[in-house]
């Protein structure tokens, strides 16, 4: 997982020695973290943010993270420009393997990469002995944000003038002859 800037809800989890039943992690964003999330995702506000995940061992040296992220946000309606409340609830599922692991290699068949659109995602790599599960939760939070939020019942009205009469002229006459109305 490579991120340019640190997540406001960053939580570095040590994955070197995980219990077989997994390690539960809960992240509840405080006021400053919610303000940073809102600014980072172009939202009016983030009213609530909570992530509950379990980090489990996966195969020889990999890690599986699964759980959920829930948030209450306020966006701007793209039609009316009014504030619009929304609820986000996304399932989190990701697999991580150490850099250089044979499990990280993409399957290649005859020099071509084989991708299954319906299959699981390829494992992400990590270095060291920690994974930022907060940044992972923020990624799934972002997936739940409606890019074009629209208030119920709002419509976009066209400001184009409606022609009062049928178009006329030599070009329109020629087009009518070529393409008569059915």
Element (H, E) at 39: helix 31-40
pLDDT attached to residue 3 = 44
pTM: 0.74
Q: What is the model's pLDDT at position 108? A: 47
Question: Which of 145, 13, 136 is CA-nearest to residue 68?
Answer: 136
Confidence of residue 2 (pLDDT cuts 50, 70, 90): very low
18-30 pLDDT tens trace:
888 999 999 999 9
Report d(CA 57, CA 64) in Å as an integer: 6
Cα distance between residue 58 and residue 22, in whole Å: 10
pLDDT digits (tens, 9 = 90+) for 117-173: 666 667 888 888 889 999 999 999 999 999 999 888 777 766 666 666 777 778 878
Give 137-155 as a DSSP string.
Answer: HHHHHHHTS-SS---TT--
In the predicted model, is pLDDT for residue 66 greater than 90? yes
Per-residue pLDDT tens over the stretch 88-116: 999 999 999 888 766 665 544 555 556 66
Identity of the highest mean pLDDT range in 7-16, 19-28, 42-51, 122-131: 42-51
pLDDT confidence of 6, banded at 50, 70, 90?
A: confident
Tokens of residue 104, six digits: 């990280």
Sheet holding 45-58, edge to edge: 23-28, 45-58, 62-76, 83-98, 124-126
Task: Give dist(CA 140, CA 7) in Å, integer.
Answer: 12
């Amino acid at each position: 997982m490579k991120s340019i800037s640190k997540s406001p809800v960053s939580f570095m989890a040590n994955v070197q020695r995980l219990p077989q039943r997994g390690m539960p992690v809960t992240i509840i964003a405080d006021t400053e973290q919610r303000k940073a999330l809102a600014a980072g995702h172009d939202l009016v506000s983030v009213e609530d943010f909570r992530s509950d995940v379990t980090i489990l061992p996966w195969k020889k040296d990999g890690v599986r993270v699964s759980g959920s992220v829930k948030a209450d946000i306020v966006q701007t309606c793209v039609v009316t420009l009014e504030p619009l409340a929304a609820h986000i609830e996304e399932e989190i599922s990701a697999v991580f393997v150490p850099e250089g692991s044979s499990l990280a290699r993409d399957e290649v068949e005859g020099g071509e990469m084989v991708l299954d659109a319906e299959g699981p995602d390829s494992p992400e790599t990590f270095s060291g002995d920690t994974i930022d599960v907060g940044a992972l939760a923020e990624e799934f939070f972002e997936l739940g944000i409606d890019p074009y939020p629209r208030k119920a019942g709002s419509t976009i009205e066209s400001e184009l003038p409606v022609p009062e009469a049928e178009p006329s002229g030599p070009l329109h006459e020629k087009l009518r002859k070529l393409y008569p109305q059915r």
